[in-house]
C-alpha cells in the first residue's frame, strides 16, 4: 500500500478521520510541490561568482577618479572599483536567475503533477531589479538636489539606503524580497526561516557598515567582499538541506 492510498479517505471514515486524511494529503501535496532548493542554490552560487568583482585594488579609495557609469549599471554601487562591471553582472544574473526559476517551477510542476504558482515570485524579482536601478538616482536627487528641509526630513531613510546601494548590496535585497514572496507561495516553514535569516543578515551587514564610522584607511581591499559574501552561505546551506530532503523524500 502506498503513502497516497494510506492517506486517502474512504466511505467508512469518521469526520475526524476524514479531516486528518485531508490534512495529511494536503501536507504531502505541499511537500511534493516544494522545489525551492534550486532558487536558493542558484542565487547563492551567483553571489559567490560575483566575489572577484567586490575585491578592490591596492589603490586607496580616496585617490580614485570619480566614476560616471551608465544608469543600467546602478546595481553595482558607487564605492566599488568595478562597479560598472558588477552592475552589468547583477542585471543579467537577477533577470536570468528569476526567469530560470520560473522555467524550473513549470518543469517541476509538470513532472510531479502539482505546481507552485511562481509567477508572483518572478514578477517581484523583476520589479525589484528595476527598482534597484532607479532607486540610487532617486535617492541622490532627494539628498543632493532638493531643499534642505526636504533632504533633512528624508535623510533618515535616504542615507542608509544610499549606503546599501553604494556598497553594491541592492541585489542582495532584491533576492531577499523575492525569497520572502516565494516562501509565502510555497507555504514552507523551512524556506521562510531561510529567507528571514538571509534578509536579517543583509540588513545587519549594512547596519554594521552604516554605524561603524570608518575612517580613511580603515577599509581594505577585501572589506566589500566580506559584506557581499557573508549572506551567501545562508542560501547555499538552506538550498543544500532542501535538496537533501527532496532526495530522501519517498516517492
In whole angstroms, give the CA distance from residue 205 to residue 154. Answer: 22
pLDDT at 16: 56
pLDDT digits (tens, 9 = 90+) for 177-202: 999 999 999 888 899 999 999 999 99
pLDDT at 250: 56
Residue ranges of the chain with pLDDT lower than 50?
Answer: 1-8, 18-27, 29, 62-65
What pTM value is reported for the model? 0.81
Nearest to 162 by CA among 199, 209, 129: 209
In whole angstroms, give the CA distance from residue 31 to residue 34. Answer: 5
**Residues 80/54, Cβ–Cβ less than 8 Å:** yes
Burial class (CB in 10 A: 0-12, 13-18, 19+), 226: exposed
pLDDT at 216: 53
Q: Which three cell numbers stand for residue 137?
A: 538616482
In the DSSP assignment, the letter for residue 35 is -
pLDDT digits (tens, 9 = 90+) for 107-148: 988 887 777 888 999 999 999 999 999 988 888 777 776 666
Half-sphere exposure of 164 (CA within 13 A, CB side): 21
**Tally of CB atoms within 10 A around 47:** 22
**Residues 46/54, Cβ–Cβ less than 8 Å:** no
Helix, strand or coil, per DSSP, at residue 214:
coil
Q: Could you tell me the CA-to-CA distances from 16 to 4, 7, 23, 30 in Å, in that order?
A: 18, 13, 11, 21
Amino acid at each position: 500500500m502506498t503513502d497516497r492510498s494510506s492517506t486517502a479517505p474512504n466511505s467508512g471514515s469518521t469526520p475526524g478521520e476524514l479531516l486528518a486524511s485531508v490534512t495529511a494529503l494536503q501536507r504531502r501535496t505541499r511537500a511534493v510541490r516544494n522545489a525551492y532548493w534550486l532558487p536558493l542554490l542558484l542565487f547563492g552560487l551567483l553571489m559567490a561568482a560575483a566575489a572577484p568583482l567586490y575585491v578592490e585594488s591596492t589603490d586607496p579609495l580616496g585617490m580614485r577618479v570619480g566614476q560616471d557609469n551608465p544608469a543600467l549599471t546602478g546595481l553595482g554601487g558607487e564605492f566599488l572599483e568595478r562597479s560598472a562591471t558588477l552592475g552589468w553582472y547583477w542585471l543579467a544574473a537577477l533577470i536570468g536567475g528569476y526567469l530560470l526559476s520560473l522555467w524550473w517551477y513549470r518543469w517541476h510542476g509538470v513532472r510531479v503533477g502539482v505546481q507552485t504558482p511562481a509567477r508572483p515570485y518572478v514578477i517581484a524579482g523583476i520589479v525589484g531589479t528595476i527598482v534597484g536601478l532607479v532607486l540610487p538616482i532617486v535617492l541622490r536627487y532627494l539628498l543632493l538636489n532638493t531643499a534642505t528641509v526636504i533632504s533633512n526630513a528624508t535623510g533618515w531613510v535616504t542615507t542608509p539606503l544610499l549606503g546599501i546601494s553604494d556598497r553594491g548590496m541592492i541585489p542582495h535585497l532584491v533576492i531577499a524580497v523575492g525569497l520572502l514572496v516565494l516562501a509565502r507561495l510555497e507555504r514552507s516553514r523551512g524556506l521562510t526561516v531561510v529567507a528571514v535569516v538571509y534578509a536579517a543578515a543583509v540588513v545587519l551587514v549594512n547596519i554594521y557598515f552604516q554605524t561603524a564610522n570608518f575612517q580613511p584607511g580603515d577599509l581594505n581591499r577585501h572589506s566589500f567582499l566580506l559584506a557581499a559574501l557573508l549572506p551567501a552561505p545562508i542560501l547555499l546551506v538552506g538550498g543544500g538541506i532542501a535538496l537533501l530532503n527532496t532526495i530522501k523524500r519517498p516517492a
